[in-house]
Amino acid sequence: MRSVSKWLEALKYSTYDADSADSIQKEINDDAREGGSRIHAVMESLWLGTFKESDYLQYFSNSALKDMQKIHEQLNAQYEFVAAEAMLSDVKHNVAGTADLIVRERSTGKYVLLDYKSKMFAYNNTKLNKKGNKLRGFLFATSKKYTTLPIRDKYDAQLTAYRKMLNDMGIPVEEHGIIPLVYAVNGNKVTKMMISDNFGGEKSVYNKNLKERHFASLKTPENIHHDIYYGIF
């Protein structure tokens, strides 16, 4: 089966974002990718109740692990766990993917599909972009020099595809969004972790309710709906 990510590449959704243009970021891309995978593993173990601090001390400081436990507690207070790292597929259209987190909002009972996106905002005490301390890594490029479709829309398109597969499986997802995690690395360890309070820039519409709900709710633009349903499904 073809992954949703491969479909999005074919539809010319960019893998570029503002952080990757920074020379320091380019030097540490491998560390960033590995860091993202490890963050996923810790968050999954917290939801599944299998978390053991000793399992992760090679790559995370005690403080960073406490930060992640706090993030989980904040999310768990508002959302009931349904599934983590859920394998999804659509045999008819030969497409598959993995949903990071499926929850039900405790106040409304509605299903919400969430995806972790993680970015470094400091590496060995060096900020990764000129406005990194304020924007905390989630500033999106729109320049045609780098992209045909911005990475923010790629996030949305990815979750739109997952959401359709879940709906077809009988899980009526009513909302999808990004949990924007930002972290600092010193040496070979993550030393700080938090949910970004800024997703896409100071005036971004995605910042609305981010602090209260702990994720950036995405709404599918018409062009993405077209690309997903006619390009993939």
pLDDT tens-place string over residues 63-119: 999 999 999 999 999 999 999 999 999 988 889 999 999 999 999 999 999 999 988
Look at residue 221 and give its three-state secondary structure.
Answer: coil
Give the pLDDT score at 86. 95
Is residue 210 predicted with pLDDT exceeding 60?
yes
CA distances from 226 to 1, 230, 231 (A): 22, 6, 7
| Helices 62-78/29-48 angle, 10° precision | 50
* Average pLDDT, integer, range 170-189: 91
Where in the sequence is the domain holding 165, given as residue range(s)?
A: 2-231
Per-residue pLDDT at 143: 46
pLDDT computed for residue 135 by the predictor? 36
Residue 5 confidence class, pLDDT cut points 50, 70, 90? confident
Using DSSP, state whether 123 is helix, strand or coil. Answer: strand
pLDDT the model gives residue 110: 96
Percent of the chain residues topping a pLDDT of 90: 46
Task: Kindly tell me if the per-residue pLDDT of 200 is higher than 80.
Answer: no
Mean pLDDT of 126-145: 51
Q: What is the pLDDT of residues 22-72, one digit of tens each?
A: 555 455 555 666 778 899 999 999 999 999 999 999 999 999 999 999 999
- Name the domain count of the chain: 1
Q: List the helix and strand counts (H, then E) for the chain.
A: 8, 8
| For residue 8, pLDDT beyond 90 | no
Arithmetic mean of pLDDT, 143-148: 46
